[in-house]
Chain A
Amino acid sequence: MTPTEMSIGDNSRSTAFASEQAPARPAGNFLLSVNTISTLTIIFLLVVWWATTTAGLIAPLFLPSPQAVLGKFWLVTTKGFMDSTLWQHLAASLGRVVCALIAAVVLAIPTGIAIGLSRIAQGVLDPLIELYRPVPPLAYLPLIVIWFGIGELSKVLLIFLAIYAPIAIATAGGVRQVSQNRLRAAQSLGATRVQLLRYVVLPSAVPDILTGIRIGLGTGWSTLVAAELVAATSGLGFMVQSAAQFLVTDVVILGIAVIAIIAFALELSLRALSRRLAPWREQGIS
C-alpha cells in the first residue's frame, strides 16, 4: 500500500466533484489536489521520523528509526517473532476476524430485518443490542472468559459481538427507510409480502447493510488486540503486546503499522464493494 492509494480512499467523497466531474478548479484555490497534499503530509512525517531518529534526538528504545523497523519487518517475515512469522500472526488475526464476521453477517442481517419489520422484534431486541453495544469490549471480556474459557471461542466471540451490533442496527435502519412509493409500486404490480421483502426491502437495504459491515469490521478489528490479550500464542495483537513486554519497540511499531494498513485496506475494499453494488447511491438516489 502506497501513500497515494491511501489518500485516494481517504478523499474519495470530497474529490468526486472536484476532479472527476469538473476539471476546472474554483478561483483562488492553489494547484495541488487533496490527494497530493495528503501524500506530501505522509512523506513529510516519514522524513521527520527519519531525521529525528538518525540525528539521535530520540533513543531507539522510544522511537526506533524507519530503517530499523523495515529491517525488523524483514526479520519477522523470514525468521519470525515469538515462534511465528509475521504472516502467521497476520493469518491468525485475520482468521479470527473473518470467522467472527461471517457469524455476525449470518446472524445480524436477519436480526436487523426482524427489528425493522416487526414491532415485537424491535421491542425485544433493540434494548438488548443498545445495552451491550456502548460497553467497551475490554469491560465484558472477563465475563466472556469466565463463561467460555480462554480458547479460540472467547476471542472470536468478543470480535463477533463488536461486529454484530453495527450490522444489525444498520440493517434495521435500511429496512425502515425503504421508500413507501417503491413498496406501493411493487404492491400495485401484485407483489406478495414475501416478494416485497425479497425484491424491494432487501435490495433497498443493501447499501446500509454494507455500511454496517464496514463500521462493524472497523470496531471488530480494533477489538482484536483486546481479544488476543487472553492466552493467545499468535496474532498481531499478541505480537505487539509481547514485544512491548520485552521493550522491542521496533516490533511494536511494525505490528501497529500492519494493523493500521490492514484496517485501511478493509475499509477501502468495502467502500469499493459498496460503490459496485449500489452505484445509484453515488448519484443521490436513495
Chain B
Amino acid sequence: MSRLVIDQVTVHYPGAARGVAALQDVSLVIDPEQLVVALGPSGCGKTTLLNLIAGFLQPTSGRILLDDRLVSGPSAERGVVFQDDALLPWLNVLDNVAFGLQLRGLPGAEREATARRTLQLVDLQEFEQHPIWQLSGGMRQRVGLARGLAADPRVLLLDEPFAALDAFTREQMQELLLRLWRKTRKQIFLITHDLEEAVFLATDLILLSPRPGRVAERMKLDFGHRHANGESARSIKSDPRFIETREHVLSLVFAQREVSTT
C-alpha cells in the first residue's frame, strides 16, 4: 500500500507579489485508504497543492514522495479527475474510459473488458457506445471518474470534481465516490470549496487558509466511513454531530478570514 508524503512544500509563482507564497511550508501525509479533503476559499492554494501532487507543477522548495520515491512529473500512478471532465470528445464513453490502458499499450479486448467493468462501477454500462457530448454533466463526471479508476492509479486526485453540478447530482456523486472508495480501497485526495461536501466525504479534513496558502487546521472525521458502512446520506447530514462539525469548520473558516483581513 502506498504512502504519499508532502514534506514542507513551498510554492512561489514567478511574477507574483514578492513574499506572498501560493503555498507555505505545507506538510501532509496521505496513508492507504484515507480520503483526504483539502477545503478552503479560492486563492488558498488548494489547486496548487493538487497540481503539485499530480506532478503538473514543481515546488519551489520541499519535496513530494510517493512510496519514498520523489514525484517529478505526471504519471499514471497518480490519476486526476478534473472539474471540467477533460474527456476526449472524439472517443465514445468506452474508449475514453479505456484511454489510459490504450496509452499503456494493452490489447483492445483486454482494455475494453476492464473499461466495461469500471463503467459498471459508475452505473454507465448502458452508455458505453455513446459519444460523450451526448451525456449530461453528471454522467460525464462519472466517465471521468471511471477513466481515472480504470488506469488503476495508486492515488486518485480530484480537482473540485462536483463543483459544476447541480445540488441533487452533486449529492449523488458524493455517495458514488464513497461507494467507489469503499470498493476499490484507493486513497483519494480531493479539493473543494464546498464545506458540507468536505465534512461528509473526508476521513481527514485539511483546512487551508490563503495568503500565504498554508494548513490552518486538520481533523479526523468518520462521516464518510459511516456512509460507506451503510448509513444513508440524509441520516448522516441531519445528525446533530454532523451539523455541529460543519458549523465548527465554518467558524474556523471565518476565524481565518478575520485573521487575514486584519
A residues neighboring B (CB under 8 Å): 179, 181-182, 184-192, 195, 199-200, 203, 206, 278-280, 283, 285
- Taking CB atoms, residues of chain B closer than 8 Å to A200 are 88
Q: Does B133 contact A (CB under 8 A)?
A: yes
A187 to B55: give the CA distance in the assembly, Å. 9
Determine if B99 and A189 form an interchain contact, defined as CB atoms under 8 angstroms apart: yes
Is B84 in contact with A184, judged by CB distance below 8 angstroms? no
**A interface majority secondary structure:** helix
Interface of B, secondary structure class, is loop
Known: A184-B56, A184-B80. A189 touches B133 (CB 8 A): no
- Which stretch of B3-11, B22-30, B71-79 is in the interface? B71-79
Q: Is the CB of A188 within 8 A of B90?
A: no
Residues B79-122 near A (CB distance < 8 A): 79-80, 82, 84, 86-90, 99-100, 102-104
Q: Which residues of A contact B75 (CB under 8 A)?
A: 187-188, 190
Task: Specify which chain A residues have a CB less than 8 angstroms from the CB of B73 in the assembled complex.
Answer: 187
Q: A211 to chain B: closest CB distance in Å?
A: 16
User: What would 27 A/B residue contacts be, using CB atoms closer than 8 Å?
Assistant: A181-B84, A181-B86, A182-B88, A184-B86, A185-B80, A185-B86, A186-B103, A187-B56, A187-B73, A188-B54, A188-B74, A188-B75, A188-B76, A188-B80, A188-B153, A188-B157, A189-B103, A189-B147, A190-B100, A191-B103, A200-B88, A203-B88, A203-B90, A278-B90, A280-B89, A283-B133, A285-B89
Please give, as numbers and ranges, the residues of chain A lying within 8 Å of B84 by CB-CB distance: 181
CB distance from B105 to the nearest CB of A (A): 10
Q: Is B151 in the interface zone, CB < 8 Å from A?
A: yes
Question: Which residues of A have CB within 8 Å of B87?
Answer: 185
Chain A residues whose CB sits within 8 angstroms of the CB of B62 once the complex forms: none
Smallest CB-CB separation from B79: which chain A residue? A188
A-B complex: 9 closest residue pairs judged by Cβ atoms: A190-B76, A189-B100, A280-B89, A187-B74, A181-B86, A185-B86, A188-B80, A280-B133, A283-B133
B interface residues, Cβ below 8 angstroms from A: 54-56, 73-76, 78-80, 82, 84, 86-90, 99-100, 102-104, 131-133, 147, 151, 153, 157
Please state if A181 and B82 are interface contacts (CB–CB under 8 Å).
Answer: yes
Known: A199-B103, A203-B90. A184 touches B151 (CB 8 A): no
Residues of B within 8 A of A279 (CB): 131, 133
B157 / chain A contacts, CB cutoff of 8 Å: 188
Q: Please determine whether A280 and B131 come into contact, CB atoms closer than 8 angstroms.
A: yes
Query: How long is the Cα–Cα vector from A199 to B102 in the complex, in angstroms?
Result: 10
Within the assembled complex, what's the spacing in Å between the Cα atoms of A186 and B86? 9
**In the complex, which residue of chain A has the Cβ closest to the Cβ of B134?**
A283
CB distance from A258 to the nearest CB of B (A): 36
Given contacts A203-B88, A280-B133, contact A188 B78 (CB under 8 A): yes
